[in-house]
Structure formats: structure tokens, C-alpha cells
Amino acid sequence: MPQGVFSARAPSNIALIKYMGKKDGVMNLPENGSISMTLNSLCSVAEISLSGPANSIAFSDRVRWVSTRPQGFQELPLEVPVLDDRGVFKLVRHAEKVVKAAREIFPRFGLQCAEITSPDSREMLVFRTANTFPQASGIASSASSFAAITLATALSCARDQSLFERIWSQDSVFREQWARISRQGSGSSCRSLNGPWVMWEDERVQVLPSQMPPMAHFVLLVSDQQKKVSSSEAHARVKTSPLWENRPERVAQRLIQMKQALSEGDVRTVARIAWEESWEMHSLFHTCSEPFSYWEPGSMKVLQALDPWVNGTHRETPIVTPIVTMDAGPNVHVIVDATQRELWFDRLSPLGFKILSDRQGTGAIV
């Protein structure tokens, strides 16, 4: 990598207990805790090149996003997203937040800030971002892209990149500091910096101890349509549903049960709670005052086919239950014991949808 180029790679994550509803929409503080599994190859990359003096010291004049492929990561099948003005604005605003945070966080970890963090620096930061999944795949990219942008920007703020890298890989407290900053860009991104099983409650983001077997992950691509209701909008609307009542209390119970189940490697209980959560979140969408739905006929077809496996009523009840969930979209995520990857791929293929395959991962890397 040439000098003056800083890059990071961050995976997506799939929530089993959902972040839905915000206490604070500016800081992205959730109404309830959430638990997710971090993925591996479904990921985003962010690359920053320093490119000489800008016209002014205003941060918005110092940051540019260009729609070309990052120079690194040649080994990854990358696709450059299409960002509209709002998307670019969010990126610039977030990068500015990260630079300010670096000035506060670095000294606590013995790191010195690079020149670009100085309030009167004129250094230009040129961003390139890309995803390993196509924009039209219906996979949300905000978690992985904000995590990658956070990490690449933080790296570019360090005078000594090797020291940053060492602290990043060894110090979970340092990672958690950056998870808090990433969360402010997009809430769910705070769970993508670490892995595989991550819990986020209020400001806290932590890796959960687990005796789960290594897991494989599939997404059945039921539709490649862009979402009609953004997840930010969904967070606001769900609170008008009569089913919203007592959700934080219900989720608090589920968090305790899922933590316990993960620590014991109890896949069946994890699967049961994930199933309940997925149905509950989509029921909130369907019953709020301005109801909406992400379901497509294909979503129902997949859920109906998987229901007997999840609920243990199938005549060939599997050795290990599949964990099935949907995000804010029509696609169905299926997580299975990695030793049963082929078996499940063969079971899911006849449903007739394109399948993306991944596995659990350990979080973002520089």
C-alpha cells in the first residue's frame, strides 16, 4: 500500500435480537439491547488517500468521496456503491466525528495524532468505499460501511499506524471506544467491529462468551428491490404500534436467555429466540400507525419451508436447529452449524432463490 493510503475492512452483521426503536436519534441510542452474529466475507472496505491541500480548513472542503474502486483489496470481488448527496453528506459528517474523537481517544491509549487531525489542517482526505455484495442484493450495507469508514478514518488520524494496528488487535477497550463512535454513524455498525457474538446495550458493545459451534450463514435473496421504508424511518414508526408496549421488558428477558444459551452452546434456544424476535419486529412494521411490509411472497415461501425445522416438528428433525431471521428487508438469513453447511445448502437450494454464503467472523481489520 503506498504511503498516505489508509484502509480498513469491516463485515456486516445479522441481528438475532433486534435493534428497533431509538431512545435518541442523534446519538443512535437504542430502546433495547441487541445481539448479533458478525459475518466474514459479506463486508465493506474503506480507503482514504491523502491528496494535498484543500481550499479551506472547513472539514466539508477537506473530504471527498470518489466512486472508483479502492486500490487495495485486489483479492475481494468489490462493487462500488452509488451514493447520493445524502449518503456523501453522512459519510463526511461521520468522518469529521471520527477525527474529533481521535483527538480525545488517542492520548488515553498512548497514541499521537497525525497532522490531519489539527483543526487548521488543509490536508484533503479522498474516500473510496466498496462492498463485496452488490447494491442490488438487498443486503444492508450501512453496518459494514460505517464500521469500515470509522476504522479507516481512525487509522488515518494516527501518527504511528503500526502502533494503532497493534492496539486495535489487542485492546478490546480501544475497540469499544470506536464502536461508540461508529454507532453514531449507523447504530448497527457498532456490532461489526468485533465478533462473532456481540451484544450492544446503550453505550456498551461487548463480545459475548460462547460455546456455540462455528457457524455458516446463508442469505436467500428473495428480492433485490431497494427498501421502500429506510431502517431509520422504521425505528420511528414501530413505536406507534400497539405491540410496542412492553417490548423493552420482553427484550430484556430475551437478552438474558440468549446470553445464557450462547454461553452454553444451546443452538435450539438461540434459534427459538431469534425466530420470535424476527416475527415480532415484522409484526411491529405491519401494525404501526403507518403500516408497511418488507415481506414478499418468496419470504413466506422460505419461512414456511423452514418453520418445521426451527420448531422441531419436521419428520427429519435436524441434529442442530437452523437459526432463521429476517432483517429490515424481504431476504431470509439462515445460520447453521458449519459442519452441516453442505446439507443445508442442498436443502435450501430447491426453494429456487439465489443464495449468498458466508460464515461467522471476528470483526473489522485494518
Q: Which residues bind ligand DP6 (CB under 6 A)?
A: 15, 18-20, 28, 34, 142, 186-188, 231-232, 235, 327-328
Tell the smallest beta-carbon distance from residue 220 to ligand DP6 (Å): 17
Residue 44 or residue 231: which is nearer to ligand DP6 going by CB? 231
Q: Smallest gap, in angstroms, from Cβ of residue 87 to ligand DP6?
A: 12
Q: How far is CA 59 from CA 106, 123, 180, in A?
A: 20, 10, 21
User: Which is closer to ligand DP6, CB of 34 or CB of 223?
Assistant: 34
What ranges in 2-125 are assigned the alpha helix state H? 59-62, 85-108
Judged by beta carbon, residue 153 or residue 189, the one nearer ligand DP6 is 189
HSE, CB side, 13 Å, CA atoms: give it for residue 210. 24
- Of 142 and 156, CB closest to ligand DP6: 142
- Choose between 34 and 117: whose C-beta lies nearer to ligand DP6: 34
Instruction: Quickly count: other Cβ atoms within 10 Å of residue 27's Cβ.
Output: 12
Cβ nearer to ligand DP6, comparing 25 with 53 = 25
Residue 257, Cβ density class (10 Å: 0-12 exposed, 13-18 middle, ≥19 buried): middle
Distance of CA 72 to the CA centre of its chain: 22
For ligand DP6, give the closer residue by CB, 117 or 189: 189
CA distance 198 to 185: 18
Shortest Cβ 235–ligand DP6 spacing (Å)? 6
Tell me how far, at minimum, the Cβ of 243 lies from ligand DP6, in Å: 16
**Least CB distance from residue 156 to ligand DP6, whole Å?**
23
Q: Which residue is nearest to ligand DP6 (CB)?
A: 187
Residue 154 host element (H or E): helix 142-156
Quickly tell me which residue has 483489496 as its cell: 73
| Beta carbon of residue 16, minimum distance to ligand DP6 (angstroms, whole number) | 9
Q: Which residue's entry shows cell 497525525? A: 114
Q: Containing H/E element for 3?
A: none
Q: If residue 65 lies in a helix (H) or strand (E), which one and from where to where?
A: strand 63-65
- Closest contact distance (angstroms) between CB of 137 and ligand DP6 is 15
Round to whole Å and give the CA distance between 189 and 360. Answer: 16
- DSSP class of 171: -
Contact residues for 350 (Cβ-Cβ < 8 A; gap 6+): none
Helix and strand counts by DSSP (H, E) for the chain: 10, 12
Phi and psi at residue 330, in whole multiples of 5°? -85, -10
Q: Which is nearer to ligand DP6, 9 or 18 (CB)?
A: 18
Taking the complex as a whole, how short is the minimal distance between the CB of residue 264 and ligand DP6, in angstroms?
A: 23
